[in-house]
Amino acid sequence: MSKRVLIVDDEPNILISLEFLMKRAGYEVRTARDGEEGLDAVMQWRPDLVLLDVMMPRKSGFDVCQAIRADASLAGLRVVMLTAKGRDADVAKGLALGADAYLTKPFATQDLVQRVRELLGDPA
């Protein structure tokens, strides 16, 4: 059974690109267009990993990450924050809230796939 990856981003072009990339890497993929929709999808679909944008309407990626980490039933869920907010303070905040990785846009697609595979324990 393939692992599940949820992509949460308010930018349609990024959603489409990341969905294609993750499917090509062999993952089952769903998408959400804002933080609130993303958190709902986490609770209903129970993915193995979330690719999470920071700056989104209705709920920021920081808020979503914090909610995920506050729920003991989601302890095994991996969170990768993908954002243009690359200042040291933003990276530190994301990691402090429980993100497993923090990648700044733009990023190399190979690096993202490799990071996802590492976090999910999948062979390269």
81 SS3 class = strand
Domain carrying residue 15: 4-120
Per-residue pLDDT of the chain (124 residues; tens, 9 = 90+): 689 999 999 999 999 999 999 999 999 999 999 999 999 999 999 999 999 999 998 999 999 999 999 999 998 999 999 888 767 787 788 888 899 999 988 888 999 999 999 999 987 6
Q: Which two tokens stand for residue 78?
A: 């991996």
Report how many domains make up the chain: 1
CATH of the domain at 74: 3.40.50.2300
- 40-44 long-range Cβ contacts below 8 angstroms, 24+ apart: 41/6, 41/8, 42/6, 42/68, 42/74, 42/77
pTM: 0.94
